Amino acid sequence: MTKRSFIALCFTACITAGTHDVFAQKKTIDQRVDSVLKLMTLDEKIGQLNQYSSKEEVTGPESDKSSLLLEIKAGKVGSMLNVRGADRTRRTQELALQSRLKIPMLFGQDVIHGYKVTFPIPLAEVASWDLQAIEQGSRVAAIEAAAAGIHWTFAPMVDLSRDPRWGRVMEGAGEDTYLGSLVAKARVKGFQGKGLGNTDAVMACAKHFAAYGAAVGGRDYNSVDMSERTLWEWYLPPFKAAAEAGAATFMNSFNDMNGVPATGNAYLQRDILKGKWKYTGFVVSDWGSIGEMVNHGFVKDKYEAALSAITAGSDMDMESRSYTANLAKLVKEGKVPVALIDDAVKRILRKKFELGLFDDPFRFSNTQRETEMVGNAQHRAIAKDMAKKSIVLLKNNNSLLPLSKTTKTIAVVGPLVKSEDDMLGFWSVGWPDNSDVVSQWEGLQNKVSNNTRLVYAKGCEVSDTSHAGFAEAIAAAQSADVVIVSVGERREMSGEAKSRANIHLPGVQEELIQALHATGKPLVVLVNAGRPLVFNWTADNVPAIAYTWWLGSEAGNAIADVLFGDYNPSGKLPMTFPRTEGQIPIYYNYLNTGRPAPDDDKPSNYRSGYIDLQKSPKFAFGYGLSYTTFDYSDLQLSKTTIGSNDSIIVTFKLTNSGKYAGEEVVQLYLRDEVASVVRPVKELKDFTKLLLLPGESKTVRFVINKEKLSFYNAQLKWGAEPGRFNLMIGSASNDIRLKNKFELK
Ligand code: BGC
């Protein structure tokens, strides 16, 4: 056989059997990728870089359905989002397999905190400070999604944010880089499980690269102006952690950073991600973000947008249709080297091979697995556990909580008591029927015995201006021994494009709380929200407050467990709660100034504070109460002077000094006293969560090494500088119980 006819034979074999089995088992994935690439026309290559949304469940502008079908069959769609369900993905994949090379499509979906069984919103989960539980939450999401034909989730969002006006804080890990990096890693591990290729694993997508969480004024999609130091030290590490954990994909972001849109930003995508970090996965644009560079005024039209994005390292175009319309022309005109296209195609094909789609394009579209896995009871139990751990007890004067199970009458008041949809948050996968969500009303009914009477009154709507429902609510309170008030935000108030300039408790809800408080009945307030809210009157006057975020499918049961003491709350805030919007951005790890605000936290003149308000937040990062109390004692350091290759073993005793078994999140903060660049007043460098029985003590151990003392210096070099460090260990960033100092020689 001549070489030519051999190639022709292979080519025919490829096409008839799909490209799936060319020397399949004997070759490495890279070889298989190359052998497919060789068969591809330029148009087919560009097709792989093109991602469309399905007509249903679209989050953006409408697209043309009939031409979509033709494009899929012509091999011009490498991936789709919002196609889900074993049947539907199978039917759509069948269309892709009608294309000449039969290259399977990737199905992506925003599976952010659960697929059918919905977990607490990501920010709430982070309040658990329980990395294993967070990983398991993503694991369950992946198991369900993968069983429904999905290959790829657009999560985790690892954008750090110090601005609660930004609605997307609900999707992230809060304000801290160290905590955020560990969470990023846990979520990637959870989604990708034992690795791509397993039918219970989906590709993770670290987003939004980069600096999206620092949008000026907290306005979504807004510009970001950021120094290199801030970028490297605070905003990039969670992305690096995700890349190191093996995140299969990255998504770039809508914002410009220092004038260059992230989508067209070669510094971010080529130099840092694919260069310095040697990232081998692929980068998808955010929805339409390639085309939106025209609106930014960064490029003239989509032709220039495509040139900018592909050059900068954006591999896949989500929904802007800039690549499919312009890349061929750009190649033919010599503006885009075909090698650039090939690199992007190879990155995408590699993932399709790793997922096993070339061997069996339908391996994720399995109706039997879908029936078994989606919404499965075991998953609900895990979601309930996560929901309990996410609740943060903000106040509990005179141990009002937990409530007694023999309480005769409980008034349950507020606009969110009976809500199911709101418990799911902004980013849950849209389901037509949410009746399986346990509302707070149902959770309480499930919990109390026949001897307890629950009396319900709505009081007002979330955003009401009317007091019409107050009288009924007051009457309910007057008839009761204790009043539970459930207030907060509706699910559409925090999320993408849900920036708010006013983050006070919406409408007349705080007035409702005041009216109920005036009855003199003991009051427990539950705040359900996707971000830190401001509710100063409530915080100052109501004896018991729990922050319950949006807790997902099992919200009501989890909340009832906490209210009646079947679970002792252990959550700690992953974001600072301001006293008012004027304090934003506000975060615990600020740099000290030449004129620090006074220690007494009074309004101050000629100091770095406000003349009309304290500087401190209402609730600090790391803060959260328990039904028990913890004592910290016996701090010991193995050394107080170390060389750069040494480490210090830090130990201390933690004692449960109260009446309930409980978990404490012990936090270790460091401060570098003097350095070549100004360092934060404290930085979280370690933490652990421990369960202690009443009266029990445990020795806690941390190791401090050079890595924990390092930072980016003025030349952006990572390293530690000799000098003195303050060690602070405590129960919150503003509740330090043990202190010492040590020196790095
Ligand atoms: C969001 C992304 C999301 C994408 C797909 C965009 O608007 O910014 O986070 O993954 O839509 O739904």
- The last residue of one of the domains, among 583, 607, 622, is 583
Burial of 258 (0-12, 13-18, 19+ CB in 10 A): middle
59 CB less than 6 Å from ligand 1? Answer: yes
- Average pLDDT, integer, range 600-612: 88
**What is the rounded CA–CA span in Å between residue 166 and residue 221?**
10
Same domain, 479 and 356: no
Residue 20 pLDDT: 53
Per-residue CA distances from 700 to 128, 521, 667, 736 (Å): 19, 41, 11, 15
- Residue closest by Cα to atom 8 of ligand 1: 286
| pLDDT tens, position by position, 321-365 | 999 999 999 999 999 999 999 999 999 999 999 999 999 999 999
Residue of 57, 203, 249, 496 to mutate, ligand 1, most atoms within 8 A of C-beta: 496
144 in contact with ligand 1, CB cutoff 6 A: no
Final residue of a structural domain among 374, 394, 419: 374
Query: What is the C-alpha to C-alpha distance for residues 182 and 664, in angstroms, rounded to an integer?
Result: 18
What integer pLDDT is reported at residue 601 of this predicted model? 87
User: Within a domain: residue 221?
Assistant: no
Tell me, yes or no, whether 512 and 545 share the same domain: yes
Distance of CA 161 from the midpoint of ligand 1 (Å): 17
Residue that is written with structure tokens 């401090």 in the block: 704
Q: List the CATH number of the domain containing 556.
A: 3.40.50.1700
CA-nearest residue for atom 4, ligand 1, is 287
Residues 656-692 pLDDT 10s: 999 999 999 999 999 999 999 999 999 999 999 999 9
Question: Residue 683 to residues 357, 550, 605, 614: CA-CA distances in angstroms?
Answer: 44, 28, 27, 22
CA 487 to chain centre: 23
Q: Which atom of ligand 1 is nearest to the CA of 60?
A: 7
Take atom 5 of ligand 1 and give the residue whose Cα is closest: 287
Identify whether 402 is part of a domain. yes
Tokens of 637: 């350091």
Asked if 355 and 401 sit in the same domain, the reply is no
Q: What's the average model confidence in pLDDT over 200-206? A: 99
Q: Are residues 638 and 712 in the same domain?
A: yes
In this predicted structure, the answer to whether residue 602 has a pLDDT above a threshold of 90 is no
Structure confidence at residue 56 as a pLDDT band (50, 70, 90): low
What does the alpha-carbon distance between residue 600 and residue 584 come to, in Å, rounded to a whole number? 21
Query: What pLDDT sits at residue 5?
Result: 43
315 pocket-lining for ligand 1 (C-beta < 6 Å): no
Residues 401 and 517 grouped into a single domain: yes
Question: How far, in Å, from the CA of 131 to the mean position of ligand 1?
Answer: 25
Which residues are within 8 A (CB) of 23 and not within 5 positions of it... i.e. 6 or more apart?
31, 32, 35
Q: How far apart are CA 566 and CA 562, in angstroms?
A: 6
Q: Is 207 in the pocket of ligand 1 (CB under 6 A)?
A: yes
Ligand 1 atom 11, closest CA: 287
Q: Which atom of ligand 1 is nearest to the CA of 171?
A: 9
Q: Are 358 and 409 members of one domain?
A: no
Nearest in space to 162 (alpha carbons), one of 173, 170, 174: 174
Q: Which of 130, 176, 256, 286 is catalytic?
A: 286
Confirm or reject: Cβ of 110 under 6 Å from ligand 1. yes
Ligand 1 pocket check for 496: Cβ under 6 Å: yes
- Inside any domain, residue 332: no
pLDDT recorded at residue 600: 86
Note whether residue 48 is domain-resident: yes
Q: Is 154 in the pocket of ligand 1 (CB under 6 A)?
A: yes
The model's pTM is: 0.96
Does residue 616 lie in a domain region? no
Query: Both 688 and 541 in a single domain?
Result: no
How many domains does the chain divide into? Answer: 3
CA of residue 289 to ligand 1 center, whole Å: 10
The verdict on the CB of residue 168 being under 6 Å from ligand 1 is no
CA of 465 to the centre of ligand 1 (A): 33
* Share of residues in the chain with pLDDT > 70 (%): 95
Q: Which atom of ligand 1 is nearest to the CA of 155?
A: 10
Q: Residue 217: what pLDDT?
A: 98
Task: List the domain range (segments joined by +) for residue 73.
Answer: 1-109+337-374
Say whether both 402 and 436 belong to one domain: yes
Mutate to test the pocket of ligand 1, among 154, 166, 284 (most ligand atoms within 8 A of CB): 154
Between the two ends of the chain, the Cα-to-Cα distance in Å is 73
Q: Are residues 567 and 666 in the same domain?
A: no
Q: Which of 58, 263, 287, 290 to mutate to test the pocket of ligand 1 (most atoms within 8 A of CB)?
A: 287
Residue 618 within a domain: no
Position with higher pLDDT, 263 vs 5: 263
The answer to whether residue 533 scores a pLDDT higher than 80 is yes
Q: Are residues 461 and 384 in the same domain?
A: yes
- Whether 698 is covered by a domain: the verdict is yes
Largest CA distance in the chain: 95
Residue 286 CB less than 6 A away from ligand 1: yes
Same domain, 31 and 6: yes
Whether the predicted pLDDT of 58 surpasses 50: no
- Amino acid 65: pLDDT: 56
Please report the pLDDT score of residue 596 as a whole number: 92
CA of 76 to the centre of ligand 1 (A): 22
Q: Determine, yes or no, domain membership for 180.
A: no
- Do residues 400 and 517 share a domain? yes
Question: Which CATH number covers residue 660?
Answer: 2.60.40.10
Q: Which residue has the tokens 């996707």?
A: 530
| Ligand 1 contacts CB of residue 287 (under 6 A) | yes
Residue 43 annotated as catalytic: no
| Boundary-marking domain end, from 323, 358, 374 | 374
Which residues fall within 8 angstroms of residue 411, CB to CB, at 6 or more apart?
455, 456, 457, 473, 476, 477, 479, 480, 482, 483, 484, 521
pLDDT band with cut points at 50, 70 and 90 for residue 12? very low
422 touches ligand 1 (CB under 6 Å): no
